[in-house]
Amino acid sequence: MADVITALKELSTAPSEDAPFNKWLEFKEIVAFLKTNARQNEFVVYATIQHAFMHAIAVPMSLVNPPNVEDLMLWNCTATSSWGVCTTFSEPRSISISPPLDHTGSKTLDQGEQLVFSRRFEGRVGRKNYYEVLQKFVHLFDLHFLDERNAYCRIDKHGDIEEVIRIVMFPSQGGSYGGTVVTFNRKLLDEYLALTNSAIVRTFDFTHYRPSQFGGWSAPHLANYATDGDLSYRSHLEPGHASYLRGFQVVRPMITKAVLIRRHDPTHDEDERQYASFIAQDWKNNVVREISCAPGATANYFTKSDLPFEFSPAFFRSEVLSKYKTDSEKYRLDDRSINCREAWHLETYDINEAGQVHTYLIYLRYLPYEEQLHWKAYNEPPKGPISKRAFKTDFEGCWDFEYDALNSIKEKVRELRQKQVPWWTLRSENLIDRVHYPVTSSADEWSNEILLLDQLLVEGFETKWLRQKATSLGGNPDLTFGSLKLIEECLIRTGFAADDAQKLIAPLKAAHDLRSKLKGHASGSEAETIKRQALKDHGSYQQHFRILASACDEAVRAIAEQFAKFV
């Protein structure tokens, strides 16, 4: 089925040829659209485009069971209605707030609740008109307006941004009329209607004609109306000339409060959730086998049973983490945990000496089923035990104080940022969280981590300040000197031997050079030589990166110690 907005736009465009134009005047497709859209996931709440006007209002359910057709056919309101100040100057004088939908022409709609508000502000740059949505609705479902999407959005269970309320604006072009269509996610709209014991009354007015030829109605017409199920409308057709369809549609929620209660019951999801099975190490029974992570398939340490422990580890190829490393906006990959926005959280993972990622069945259980399937695709039998760090922290209950170069670097740069030292600046807030150890044998992953390490450390040095400091210490640095050469100059001017200064910054220079050669000329022969040499010298990209990170950590800490003496 075509996109709702596209379909409505097409139905509101006058055909140029006579036969399609005459068919268009009959409104059969418009009536079909209204009926179909009443059951679709994307529901049109407001539309004002050429030849079409629609405006949906929530009204108490009791007022439309049955609806007062004669009253509702008198509707005369738009989304520009809002709160205002009402004053009475006759005695006794009074002043009060008048609500939206005051004097709509219909007593039923007067008691309704407006969902969309059309507003205008001359102080806005560009388009002066904009649209707001009832705050009660927005807050209830934790929706947030994202300007870049022109939509009210939320985070779904997968951590993706879901557009719940779309505001689509059509610019006017040439002689054509622009306009706006606002749609609501029907599931949430139904939930709101059920919560408020309401139904939708969607008013509409479609007037079809050729803009270049319409000069008014050519004949008088009757004001009778027709009812077609939940649709009531008045229509008039002048063949070959023009027609209109004006009325309202009652749209009731497709769920009940009883359904909502079940939906919000925390045990309800557990009954319907799916769970994957994983090849895991069953410590209790001393066997490696496939075990479901579902509740009831495992047991804790205090339960007497033959079931595997909830903390039975499952092992995965290291590529399982690549998905999370390549989308830092959606995922936060910490040293031993993974967060997906507000959607889900993997409590802990680690990497053993065989290079396998491992976590426990109980934590896999809490992931969305689709996420479990991602991990299952990389699941494999263990090639070794869990990491020493994981055993120490997860089972012995001890703190892990073993040196970790990357964690040490991140701790130091956080300290430098907090102190606001003048010689170094964190260039991007998310850089600290984006730098990780390479976990696969991919050269691309390795080179990308070197790029991020360089951006975190080397790009943070303030060249202007370093040049001024080197000069104030009696130097005359060349204008071509970059930050690392200027650091060297500063160190020499404070008593370092030239060789010692060069050795101190060598790891940072190595990281910067590798970044330039691997990422700047990735297809060159020099880059291939560097990759081969790294594997020859260190056995793996992971080991090379760890050694480089350790050396860079030592260099940054030594520079910080020296600069603290004269800052």
Give, as one character, the DSSP assignment of residue 425.
Answer: -
> Taking the CB of residue 198, how many other CB atoms lie within 10 A of it?
22
113 and 244 both lie in a single domain = yes
Buried b (16+ CB within 10 A) or exposed e, 390-408: bbebbeeeeeeeeebbbeb
Mean pLDDT of the region 308-331: 94
97 and 197 both lie in a single domain = yes
68 and 173 both lie in a single domain = yes
Query: Mean pLDDT highest for which of 4-13, 213-222, 234-243, 354-363?
Result: 354-363
Boundary-marking domain end, from 339, 368, 394: 394
Boundary-marking domain end, from 217, 234, 259: 259
370 and 463 both lie in a single domain = no
What does pTM read for this prediction? 0.81
Q: Is 15 exposed, middle or buried (0-12, 13-18, 19+ CB in 10 A)?
A: middle
pLDDT band at 267 (very low <50, low <70, confident <90, very high): low
282 and 149 both lie in a single domain = no
Q: Which of 438, 443, 559 is nearest to 506 (CA)?
A: 559
* HSE-up of residue 196 (Cα within 13 Å, Cβ side): 20
230 and 330 both lie in a single domain = no
pLDDT digits 0-9 by tens, 474-513: 888 999 999 999 999 999 998 899 999 999 999 999 999 9
User: What gap in Å lies between CA 550 and CA 353, rounded to an integer?
Assistant: 19
267 is a domain residue: no
Contact at 8 Å (CB) between 408 and 437? no
Name, in order, each residue with C-beta under 8 angstroms of 417's C-beta and a sequence gap of 6 or more: 425, 426
pLDDT band at 176 (very low <50, low <70, confident <90, very high): low
Q: Where are the beta strands (DSSP E) in 293-423?
A: 313-316, 331-333, 338-340, 344-346, 350-351, 357-360, 379-380
13 and 105 both lie in a single domain = yes
Q: Which domain holds residue 473?
A: 405-563
- The token pair at 276 is 């994957």
268 is a domain residue: no
264 is a domain residue: no
Contact at 8 Å (CB) between 501 and 488? yes
Q: What is the 3-state composition of the chain as percent helix, strand, coil, each rounded to the nearest 5?
A: 40, 25, 40
- Alpha carbon 426 to chain centroid distance? 25
Q: Residue 265: what pLDDT?
A: 79
pLDDT digits 0-9 by tens, 422-464: 999 999 888 998 999 999 999 999 999 999 999 999 999 999 9
Mean pLDDT of the region 274-302: 94
User: Taking 90 as the threshold, does the pLDDT of residue 57 lie above it?
Assistant: yes
Contact at 8 Å (CB) between 527 and 456? no
User: Taking 70 as the threshold, does the pLDDT of residue 170 lie above it?
Assistant: yes
More confident residue, 276 or 397: 276
* HSE-up of residue 536 (Cα within 13 Å, Cβ side): 6
In the sheet with 338-340, reading across from the earlier edge strand, the strands are 331-333, 338-340, 344-346
Contact at 8 Å (CB) between 284 and 270? no
161 is a domain residue: yes
Mean pLDDT of the region 188-198: 96
The one-letter amino acid code at 93 reads R
Place of tokens 């199920």: 229
89 is a domain residue: yes
The one-letter amino acid code at 324 reads Y
The one-letter amino acid code at 322 reads S
pLDDT band at 66 (very low <50, low <70, confident <90, very high): very high
388 and 416 both lie in a single domain = no
153 is a domain residue: yes
Computed over every residue of the chain, the mean pLDDT equals 91
> Taking the CB of residue 564, how many other CB atoms lie within 10 A of it?
11
pLDDT band at 172 (very low <50, low <70, confident <90, very high): confident
384 and 414 both lie in a single domain = no
Percent of the chain with pLDDT over 70: 96
Rounded to a whole number of angstroms, the distance between the first and last alpha carbons of the chain is 67
399 is a domain residue: no
313 is a domain residue: yes
Contact at 8 Å (CB) between 477 and 489? yes
What are the φ and ψ backbone dihedral angles of 398, each rounded to 5 degrees?
A: -110, 155
Boundary-marking domain end, from 339, 360, 394: 394
Q: From residue 79, give the alpha-carbon distance in Å to each of 46, 53, 102, 255, 392.
A: 8, 11, 12, 27, 63
12 and 95 both lie in a single domain = yes
Q: At what angle do helices 498-520 and 541-563 cross, to 10 degrees?
A: 140
525 and 442 both lie in a single domain = yes
More confident residue, 520 or 271: 520
Q: Which of 61-75, 182-196, 219-233, 528-542 has the lowest mean pLDDT?
A: 219-233
Structural domain count of the chain? 3
User: What gap in Å lies between CA 454 and CA 517, rounded to an integer?
Assistant: 12
526 and 429 both lie in a single domain = yes
At residue 545, the 3 state secondary structure works out as: helix
What are the φ and ψ backbone dihedral angles of 45, each rounded to 5 degrees?
A: -95, -30
User: Taking 50 as the threshold, does the pLDDT of residue 1 lie above it?
Assistant: no
The one-letter amino acid code at 36 reads T
